[in-house]
Structure 1
Amino acid sequence: MPRGRYSLHDPHDHTPLGEEHFQCAPGPSGWRYVSQVTTPAGDHRGSVDLTLDQLGRPLRLELHAGSWQVRGAALDGVTWVRTDPTGLHATEGNVRAHAFTGTSPAFLVATALLLRLTPSASATRVRLVTFTEPVLAPRTVDQSWALVKREAHATDNGPLTVDEYQVTALDTGERHTVHLAGDVVLAAPGIELEHLESPPSAVAP
């Protein structure tokens, strides 16, 4: 069960945004990721709890940011309920999308598990619903994912397979690179793996 810590920063100006303390593991249903997010000062900022089925679809998502909360799942596309800080005005949403995304590294792993790409495959288009912080406002985004390269690296615990993805935002054309090893993000824009207590789980297709 990988357990560790990511540092988060603004991908454009590198302003520190805090840290995400996480653990994740394959399970009977598919894969689960839980984390606590802190500010640069170490204060609690939010949390992520994401469970996927064996096909990579979101069985359950629970996001917290400040006093805001989102609960969602794959249902007629993706469906969610967003609760305001007072708890009096919950709003529901539904979009014909494949899955959720957001600032957490969990969503990069989740999208890779959903798409199940191979290095020889062409780029695949995916529609996702992201929740922008700090108020978890929903927004639909279209991305293109391609698995550019898969390499095995020797480690003390045996070979470690690293996948390099090229992700393109289809509304702006902006491209970036994501490196994954199993269910752990090694590097991505705004994300750095700072500490890992055990090797990544092999949850690749």
Structure 2
Amino acid sequence: MPRGRYSLHDPHDHTPLGEEHFQCATGPSGWRYVSRITTPAGDHAGSVDLALDDLGRPIRLELHAAGWRVRGVALEGVTWVRTDSTGEHAQEGNAAAHSFTGASPAFLIATSRLLRPAAGEPPRRVRLVALTPPVLAPRTLDQSWALVNAEAHTTDNEPLIVHDYRVGEVDTGEQHPVHIAGDVVLAAPGIELEDLESPPSRFS
């Protein structure tokens, strides 16, 4: 069960945004990721609880940030409920999308599991609902994912397979690299893996 810490920063000017302390685990029915997010000063800033089935679809999502909460699931596309801190102003939403995305590294793992592109094949396109802090307002976007390379790195135990993806934003044409090993993001725009207590889990 990998447990560790990501540092989060603005991908454009590198302003520190805080840290995400996480743990995740694979299982016979899928994958689960839980984390707590802190500000650069160390204060609590939110949390992530994401569970995927064995096909990479979100069977449970709960996000907290700045007094907002979103609960979501893959249902007739994706469906969610967004509420404020009092719970009085709940807004339901639905979109013809494949999954969710957001600032957490968990969503990069989720999308890679959903698409599972093979090396050398054309990019795979996916429609996602983005839920980004601080207010977690939903926004639908399209991305393309291509597997550029999969390379084995020697470790003290078994080889570590690092998958290098090229992710494109369809509306802007912007592309960026994402590096993933098992169920851990090694590096991506705005994300750096700072600490890992145990090796990444392997997906079957």
TM-score of the pair, normalised by structure 2: 0.98
Q: In structure 2, how many angstroms separate the alpha carbons of the residues matched to 1:107 and 1:57?
A: 11
Number of residues of Structure 1 aligned to a counterpart in Structure 2: 204
Q: In structure 1, how many angstroms separate the alpha carbons of the residues matched to 2:60 and 2:121?
A: 29
Q: In structure 1, how many angstroms separate the alpha carbons of the residues matched to 2:66 and 2:29?
A: 29
Could you tell me whether the CA contact under 8 Å between 2:146 and 2:167 is conserved in 1? yes
In structure 2, stretches of 5+ residues that fail to align are none
Could you tell me whether the CA contact under 8 Å between 2:166 and 2:177 is conserved in 1? yes
- Residue 137 of structure 2 corresponds to residue 146 of structure 1: no
Counterpart amino acid of residue 144 in structure 1: S
Query: How far did 1:156 drift?
Result: 1.1
Q: In structure 2, how many angstroms separate the alpha carbons of the residues matched to 1:103 and 1:176?
A: 15
Q: In structure 2, how many angstroms separate the alpha carbons of the residues matched to 1:48 and 1:198?
A: 20
Query: 1:155-201, CA deviations, whole angstroms, 9 ceiling, x for partnerless residues?
Result: 11221000000000001111100000000000000000000000000
Query: How far did 1:29 drift?
Result: 2.1
Residues 76-115 of structure 1: matches in 2 within 5 Å? 76-115=76-115
Give the percent of matched residue pairs that are identical in Structure 1 and Structure 2: 75
Runs of 4+ aligned residues of structure 1 deviating over 3 Å after TM superposition are none
Query: 1:41-61, CA deviations, whole angstroms, 9 ceiling, x for partnerless residues?
Result: 000000000000000000000
Query: How far did 1:27 drift?
Result: 1.7
Residues 1-205 of structure 1: matches in 2 within 5 Å? 1-203=1-203
Could you tell me whether the CA contact under 8 Å between 2:66 and 2:133 is conserved in 1? no
TM-score of the pair, normalised by structure 1: 0.98
Secondary structure of 1:198 counterpart: coil
Secondary structure of 1:121 counterpart: coil
Q: In structure 1, how many angstroms separate the alpha carbons of the residues matched to 2:159 and 2:132?
A: 37
In structure 1, stretches of 5+ residues that fail to align are none
Secondary structure of 2:109 counterpart: helix
Q: In structure 1, how many angstroms separate the alpha carbons of the residues matched to 2:156 and 2:19?
A: 27
Counterpart amino acid of residue 174 in structure 2: E
Q: In structure 1, how many angstroms separate the alpha carbons of the residues matched to 2:100 and 2:90?
A: 19
Could you tell me whether the CA contact under 8 Å between 2:25 and 2:32 is conserved in 1? yes
Query: How far did 1:120 drift?
Result: 2.3
Secondary structure of 2:200 counterpart: coil
Query: 1:138-171, CA deviations, whole angstroms, 9 ceiling, x for partnerless residues?
Result: 0001000000000000011221000000000001
Q: In structure 2, how many angstroms separate the alpha carbons of the residues matched to 1:36 and 1:50?
A: 12
Q: In structure 2, how many angstroms separate the alpha carbons of the residues matched to 1:110 and 1:183?
A: 9
Query: How far did 1:66 drift?
Result: 1.7
Q: In structure 1, how many angstroms separate the alpha carbons of the residues matched to 2:27 and 2:159?
A: 23
